Amino acid sequence: MSGVSDSNPGSRSSTRVKICGVTRSADRDAAVVAGADAVGVICDVPVDTPREVDEETAADLLDGVPPLVTGVLVTMPDNVDDAVELAQALGPDAVQVHGGLSPSELAALGRRLSQDIVVAVDADADDVGAYADAADALLVDSVDAEGGGGTGETHDWERTRDIVDDLDVPVILAGGLTPDNVAEAVETVRPFGVDVATGVERVNDAGDRVGGEKDHEGVREFVSNATREVTTA
Ligand SMILES: O=C(O)c1ccccc1N[C@@H]1O[C@H](COP(=O)(O)O)[C@@H](O)[C@H]1O
């Protein structure tokens, strides 16, 4: 039987945590203080999302990510040249690609950039292995029809667990994660890392989620619950 240990509440598992879709420096800093390993900034995506920022804001947000935390550019390029140009302009530590680039285009992107490439794939896709070969890490998400993320929807975690078991590449679990479900998700999937956007957004007095604004307590809870040491008794 397994469970979350309370014998050493100060210990944390090795699960990496990325807080994505940060649009404000205060939210970026709150993620860092909470212990996030990576902060994602979304720029140049064709989907309508409150988490997208313009290039100047993206550059400022990424520039303020401190040493030992990974600043990730999240983008949906039309082609390799556009992705190279944006990454070179913004200077992130890593680039997360959603959308239509093929495995060979991703491999070409990786050859032209010094940064690690994280590719977002749908958990149900049948060509996940080809993407894994072309990138440095796989982000298994519940993507929308255009390949974008931020859906707030979970997928079949057992399927992602199979991907973790079958492929020799770091797998980051995303899609509908929240402070309430992330511990179970980590226990089920055993991913290299977890990634959240909508699940840690602020809720206003009317009970509506405010897209693009993080709930700092939610961010703290998410990191804590994602990284609690799990023991097998
Ligand atoms: O968040 C977005 O709006 C977005 C738009 C385009 C590409 C990626 C996007 N977000 C990524 O999707 C995952 C999962 O989001 P959620 O937790 O289900 O809301 C998120 O971590 C981002 O990497």
Give residue-wise pLDDT tens across range 92-132. Answer: 999 999 998 999 999 999 999 999 999 999 988 888 999 99
ipTM of this complex: 0.98
What is the rounded CA–CA span in Å between residue 165 and residue 191?
10
Distances (CA, A) of 213 to 31, 49, 109: 12, 12, 31
Q: Of the residues 17, 22, 42, 223, which should be mutated to test ligand 1's pocket, given the most ligand atoms within 8 Å of the CB? A: 42
pLDDT band per the 50, 70, 90 thresholds, residue 5: very low
Pair 123, 160: CB distance under 8 Å: yes
Tokens, residue 142? 């519940």
Under DSSP, the state recorded for 30 is: H
pLDDT band per the 50, 70, 90 thresholds, residue 152: confident
Ligand 1 site, CB within 6 A: 20-21, 40, 42, 45, 47, 49, 51, 74, 76, 98, 141, 148-152, 174-177, 195-199
What pLDDT score does 231 carry? 59
Pair 229, 11: CB distance under 8 Å: yes
For the chain, the residue count is 233
Q: Give the pLDDT confidence of 130-149 residue by residue, as tens digits.
A: 999 999 999 998 877 777 77
Under DSSP, the state recorded for 95 is: E
Chain-centroid distance, C-alpha 141 = 9
Average of per-residue pLDDT values in the chain: 92
